[in-house]
Structure 1
Amino acid sequence: MTRPLAVFDVDGTLVDSRASIHAACGAAARRLGLPEPSYDRVRQIVGLELTKALHVLEPQLTQAELADYVAGFRQWFLDQYEAGHEEPLFDGAVDHLRRLKRDGWRLAIATGQNRRGVARNLARDGWADLFLSSHCAEDGPGKPDPAMLIAAMRACDACPATTVMIGDTAHDHAMAANAGVPAYGVGWGFHTAEEQLAAGARLVATTFSDLDAALDAFASGAAGPARVESLAASA
C-alpha cells in the first residue's frame, strides 16, 4: 500500500471538549431563556456544523433566535479563550500522531469546527507540522456530507483505498461512508461504541494503543471486513 492517509476529527477524538461544548450550549440557552440541554442531548449533535447542530438541538427556534443561539455559543468560547482556557488533549493523542507521522502516514483534519477553531488547534505546540491539510464545516458542506473528506484526499494526493477516517461520532462515520472511505471509531468521545458501529465504523478503539494496532493493520493492507465487533466489547 502506498503511504496511507489518516483523517482525524478533532472534538472528542483528539481534544477533550466534552465539558466545554456542554457548558457553551447551556450558556447560550440561558441567554435565550431556554432550559439548559442535558449532556446526552448535546453529545448527539457534536460534529455537525454549528448552526445545523444547534437547530437540531432546538428545532423550534426562529432563524433570528437560532442566530442568537449560535452567537451565544461562540461568545462563551471566545470569553473562555480570552481568559486563557484551552481544551485538553486526550492522553496519548500527540504521541499517537507523532508515531503515525514518523511511520510515513499522511495526516489531515476534518472537523465540524469553524476555521478559527482549526487555527487555534493548529497553533498547539507541534501541530502545524503534523498535518498536511485541514478541512472544516466553514469550507463547505459539513458532516455527513463527504466534501471535507474528499477535499482532504485531494489535498494529500490520496484515494479511498489508502485513506481512513478516525472519529468519535456517527456523523464522522456517515461522512466516511458517503466518501467511500473506511471509518475507525474511538471510544472516549461523544458517541457510544454501539452508536458508532451502527453508523458504519469498522471498529471502535478503546485506547490509542488499540488504534495504533488497527492502523498498522490497515497500512499493511489488512484492513479487515466491512465491520467488526467493537474493541470495547472484547476489552
Structure 2
Amino acid sequence: MTAPLKLAVWDVDGTIVDSRKIIQRAMNRAFERAGLGGIEYDRTRTIVGLELTEAILRLAPPDYPAERIPRLATYYKEAFVEQRAEPGFEEPLYDGARETIERLVDEGWLMGVATGKARRGLDIVFGHHDLHRYFDTFQTVDGGLGKPHPRMVLDAMKETGTDPIQTVMIGDTRFDMEMGRNAGVHTLGVSWGFHTPDEIREGGAHDLHDGFDTLNTALDAFGARVEDMAS
C-alpha cells in the first residue's frame, strides 16, 4: 500500500530564517531615506509576511502621498541588498530548522514554501543555506495574491497533488495562520519570529510552539492522523 501524501508548507522569515535584524535595518533605512525619520521594530514586525507594497502602505504615515509608496518600497529593497554586501552580514537558520526539514523529507513528506518574499529574494536566501533541494513547491508573491489570501497554499497543494487534510501550514505570524485557515489546512504557529503568541493565536493557530522539539511532536502527530485516515 502506498503511503499517503503529507505536505508541510513553511513560511520563511521568522520561521526558518532569523531575518529580524536585516528586515528591521532595511525598513529603518528606507524610512530614513524617505525623510520619515526611521521606524521602530515593534511597528516593522507587525507587517512581516505581507507583500511589500501592502506592508509599506500599512507602515507609511496616513498623509504620505500614495505616489511615493513605490519609491519607499524601492528604498527598502536597496537597503536589503546593501546589507548582504556588508562585513559581518548574518541571516542564520533557526536552530533545529534544517534538522526538522531534513527529517521530514527523509520520512517521505513533501515540502513547500509560502512567503511574502519575491522569488528572487527567496532564491538568494535558499541558495545561501542550500535549501532548494529539500522543497517541492515554491510559492511567492510573484505568483499572485499574498497572505492572508489562501492562494499560495492552494497552489502548493495543486502542485504537489495534496488536499487540505494532508497539509499543514507552519509560520510565525497571524498572516500565516489566516492564510492556512482560509485554505482549510491545519495551522502550526511558532513563537520565535515576528508576531507575539497572542497575535498568532488570533490568526487562528491550531497549536502554538516555542521550540522545534514540540513542533516536531506536533508534525509527527499530524502525520500519524493522515496515515490513520488513509488506512
The answer to whether TM tops 0.5 is yes
Of the structure 1 ranges 60-69 and 93-102, higher mean CA displacement relative to structure 2 is found in: 60-69
Q: SS of 1:104's equivalent?
A: coil
**Mapped pair 1:160 → 2:168:** no
Contact 2:4 2:226 (8 Å CA) reproduced:
no
Q: Following superposition of structure 1 onto structure 2, how do residues 60-79 of structure 1 map, counting pairs within 5 Å?
A: 60-79=63-82
Output aligned runs, 1:165-204, within 5 Å. 165-204=169-208
**Among the aligned pairs, what percent are the same residue?**
41
Please state how far the C-alpha of 1:194 moved relative to its aligned partner.
1.3
Residue equivalent to 1:27: 29
- Number of residues of Structure 1 aligned to a counterpart in Structure 2: 223
Q: Give the secondary structure class of the aligned counterpart of 1:69.
A: helix
Partner of 1:136: 140
Which residue pairs with 2:149 in the alignment? 145
Whether 1:54 aligns to 2:56 is yes
Q: TM-score, normalised by structure 1?
A: 0.91
Q: Identify which of 13, 20, 24 aligns with 2:15.
A: 13
Q: Report how far residue 86 of structure 1 moved.
A: 4.4
Deviation at 1:222, TM superposition (A): 7.6
Distance 1:135 1:222, change over 3 A: closer
Q: Secondary structure at the match of 1:7?
A: strand
Q: Kindly state the Cα deviation for residue 199 of structure 1 after the two structures are TM-superposed.
A: 1.1
Cα deviation 1:33-79 (Å, max 9, x = unaligned) = 10322111111000000010011011432233111110100001111
Partner of 1:231: none
Structure-2-length-normalised TM-score:
0.92
> Is the aligned partner of 1:108 residue 2:112?
yes
Map of 1:210 onto structure 2: 214
1:97 corresponds to 2:116: no
Residue 131 of structure 2 is matched in structure 1 by 127
Q: Give me the whole-angstrom Cα distance separating, in 2, the residues matched to 1:83 and 1:22.
A: 15
Q: Give the alignment's Cα RMSD to 1 decimal.
A: 1.6
- The CA distance in 2 between the partners of 1:123 and 1:222, in whole Å, is 32
Distance in 1 between the 2:83 and 2:175 partners? 27
- Displacement after TM superposition at 1:192 (Å): 1.1
Matched residues in 2 for 1:131 and 1:47: separation?
A: 19
Letter in 2 for 1:117: G
Taking the aligned partners of 1:32 and 1:125, their CA distance within structure 2 comes to 32
1: CA distance, partners of 2:91 / 2:187: 25
Which of 25, 43, 46 is the equivalent residue of 1:44?
46
SS in 2 for 1:47: coil
Shift, 1:99, TM fit: 0.7
